[in-house]
Structure formats: C-alpha cells, structure tokens
Amino acid sequence: YNIGVADMIVFAGAHAIVTCPGGPRLQPYISRTDITTPAPDDLLPDVKAHSADISAPFQAKGFDEVGLAALLG
C-alpha cells in the first residue's frame, strides 16, 4: 500500500482519539512523505529550563499558556 512511517503515526493518533469514549471522528490524511534527515538541533527548549524560558519560544509560535499546558500535558 506504500504507507510510510509518517502516515502510520497520523493514523495511530486518529485511531487513539476515536477509540476514547466520546472522542470525535477524524479523517486522517494519508500520503505524507517520510524524510531521511534529522530535524535541526535546538528547536525545543531544554526540559529543565525555567518556565519563562520554555514558554517564550511557544508564544512566538502562537501558543498561549493554556495551549502550552495542554501540549505539554
């Protein structure tokens, strides 16, 4: 079926959400392209950093404190 790792991750996430009681039905979009190069270093803050240092990069990407807590939770 020519399904890559990226497609399997999206499908597994959609399946997990639907499996939860009351979870919404999602339409996963398949046909992502797997990449072979690693992501650049230092895109995420250090996990042991102060909360202000952690929230600043995410606020620059549009996350507020509530969204960041949901993402990290």
In 1-73, the DSSP E strands lie at none
Structure confidence at residue 34 (pLDDT):
92
Burial (0-12, 13-18, 19+ Cβ within 10 Å), 14: middle
Determine what percent of the chain falls in helix, strand and coil, rounding each to the nearest 5: 45, 0, 55
Structure-token pair, residue 66: 């509530």
Dihedral angle, C-alpha 39, 44, 41, 34, nearest 10 °: -10
Residues 9 and 25 in one domain: yes
Residues 4 and 29 in one domain: yes
Residues 52 and 65 in one domain: yes
Structure confidence at residue 6 (pLDDT):
92
Structure-token pair, residue 33: 């392209």
Residues 32 and 43 in one domain: no
Provide mean pLDDT across the span 32-61: 87
Provide mean pLDDT across the span 3-28: 90
Question: What is the domain range of residue 25?
Answer: 1-37
pLDDT one-digit tens code per residue, 17-40: 999 888 898 888 888 889 989 989
**Tally of domains in the chain:** 2
